[in-house]
Amino acid sequence: MKSKIKVVPKEYLFPFILITSLFALWGFANDITNPMVAAFKTVMEISNAKAAMVQFAFYGGYATMAIPAALVIKRYSYKVGIIVGLTLYAIGALLFYPAAQFEFFGFFLVSLYILTFGLAFLETTANPYILSMGPEETATRRLNLAQSFNPMGSIFGMFIASNVILATLESDKRDSAGNLIFETLSASEKAGIRAHDLAVIRDPYVMLGFFVILMLAIIVLSKMPKRAKADHSIRTKDTFKRLAKNVKYREGVLAQVFYVGAQIMCWTFIIQYADNLGIPKAEAQRYNIIAMAIFIGSRFVSTFLMKYLNARFMLTIFAVGGMLTTTGVILIEGMPGLYLLIATSAFMSLMFPTIYGIALEGLSEDSTLGAAGLVMAIVGGALMPPLQGLLIDQGTIAWLPAVNFSFILPFICFVAIAIYGYRTMKIHV
């Protein structure tokens, strides 16, 4: 009987498609930005830890704006939340133009911070909106289906990063021995290259800003369904009390912090891992694209398998798989370790929407602020990459290259997710 229930009822098909397109839009922003950590490190001549502040700014915007976004959505509507989100997204992207003119790293961080104010609005809106577009029995499958289009945007962002940005950076050119030429140049030569490379980084973001404005116009002109039995009153104190007492939700937020941290670390520092093997940034980014392709394929396969297997069981098994691959990344040097890092994406594929769906089950009108808490959990992507960057800057830890050892952090994250998956099966049933 379960397989006969429609994942997306006919009356919700158009808004489902429209909102699902937004998943690809923020996926693009996420994964054109991840490789910028390595790009800024070289062109701005800063440490891995400081360059990872790109992720702190990017994912910190989620933590800052998720609750305000939820309050706006609860007071007004999903459509208003989407409009505000797209507006902030466009502003942040367009600010890359003056940031490149001033050649100031902090300006780029502010631009990304504002851009992710918009993403916080979009994710706080889109995820519960998708869950509401049909019967509760298929809500987790529906969100997994919508989230499957997120990595499609991601892989396009990776492609642009690899072929439009990283491949044309003058600062990443190397001599016959594989050493960076940029480091040996005079101050005036570096200045010319820096101006060129920051313009290369700038242009895709500016074009993205104009595309987001186009999407904004489409959303404004489209008729969107209103959520049933909407309560627009704001009683945050009572809602927060109920959410704080809900152990399954509370642990879900924590699991999401660990998941996002693991995902961003694995996808951000794959370039540093490859760089340690003498692979140039543009080529290393292609391995990231392969990882994302695996992620996409695994997301569709896992969504299909949820017709037959319990989502909580699958979450637990996939987390154990992530533990095994990251163990190999830590202990095995050379290309086999890189291949295991790529394979980790297969196990990450179902985690975000599955944790999200499980944590929000049964929250009813508390789901708007509950969703905000899960979006705030994206702060894991802000906190953990700088810590991993600090480990990588050590050069060597014990007998291992520091970049290998640094993947102890994603391993710990997968342990936490496996514990949550197990508890949702045995305790939070």
Q: What is the pLDDT of residues 195-206, one digit of tens each?
A: 999 999 999 999
Contacts of 172-176 with C-beta under 8 Å, sequence gap 24+, read 172/39, 172/42, 172/280, 172/281, 172/282, 174/280
Dihedral angle at the C-alpha atoms of 160, 164, 167, 171, nearest 10 degrees?
Answer: -110
Dihedral angle at the C-alpha atoms of 192, 195, 196, 201, nearest 10 degrees?
Answer: 150
Sign of the C-alpha dihedral computed for residues 130, 131, 132 and 136 taken in this order: positive
DSSP state of 185: S
Q: Which residues, at least 6 apart from 210, have a Cβ–Cβ distance to it below 8 Å?
A: 90, 94
Q: What three-state secondary structure class fits 334? A: coil
Q: What is the pLDDT of residue 1?
A: 42
CA separation for the pair 122, 50 (Å, rounded): 28
Question: Do residues 117 and 61 touch, judged by C-beta distance below 8 A?
Answer: yes
CA separation for the pair 125, 15 (Å, rounded): 13
Q: Which of 356, 378, 407 is nearest to 29 (CA)?
A: 378
Q: Which of 313, 295, 297 is nearest to 426 (CA)?
A: 313
CA separation for the pair 270, 156 (Å, rounded): 17
Question: Do residues 382 and 368 touch, judged by C-beta distance below 8 A?
Answer: no
How many residues does the structure list for the chain?
A: 429
Q: What is the pLDDT of residue 316?
A: 94
Q: What is the pLDDT of residue 228?
A: 57
Write out the DSSP string of 361-404.
TT-GGGHHHHHHHHHHGGGHHHHHHHHHHHHHTTSEETTEEHHH
Question: Do residues 268 and 49 touch, judged by C-beta distance below 8 A?
Answer: no
Question: Do residues 119 and 26 touch, judged by C-beta distance below 8 A?
Answer: yes
Q: What is the pLDDT of residue 94?
A: 97
DSSP state of 180: B
DSSP bridge partners of 174: 180
pTM (predicted TM-score): 0.75
What is the residue-level pLDDT of the chain in tens, covering all 429 positions?
444 667 777 777 888 888 888 888 888 988 888 788 888 888 898 888 888 888 888 888 888 888 888 888 878 888 888 999 999 999 999 999 999 999 999 999 999 999 999 998 988 888 778 877 777 777 777 877 887 788 788 888 888 988 888 888 888 887 777 777 888 888 899 999 999 999 999 999 999 999 999 989 988 888 876 765 555 555 677 777 888 888 888 899 999 999 999 998 998 888 888 888 888 877 888 888 899 889 888 988 888 888 888 889 999 999 999 999 999 999 998 899 999 999 999 999 889 889 988 888 877 777 777 877 887 888 888 888 888 888 988 888 878 888 899 999 999 999 999 999 999 887 766
**H-state helical runs in 76-138:** 78-94, 96-102, 105-132
Q: Please report, in angstroms and rounded to a whole number, the separation of the first and last CA atoms in the chain.
A: 21
285-317 confidence digits (pLDDT tens):
888 889 988 988 898 888 888 888 888 999 999
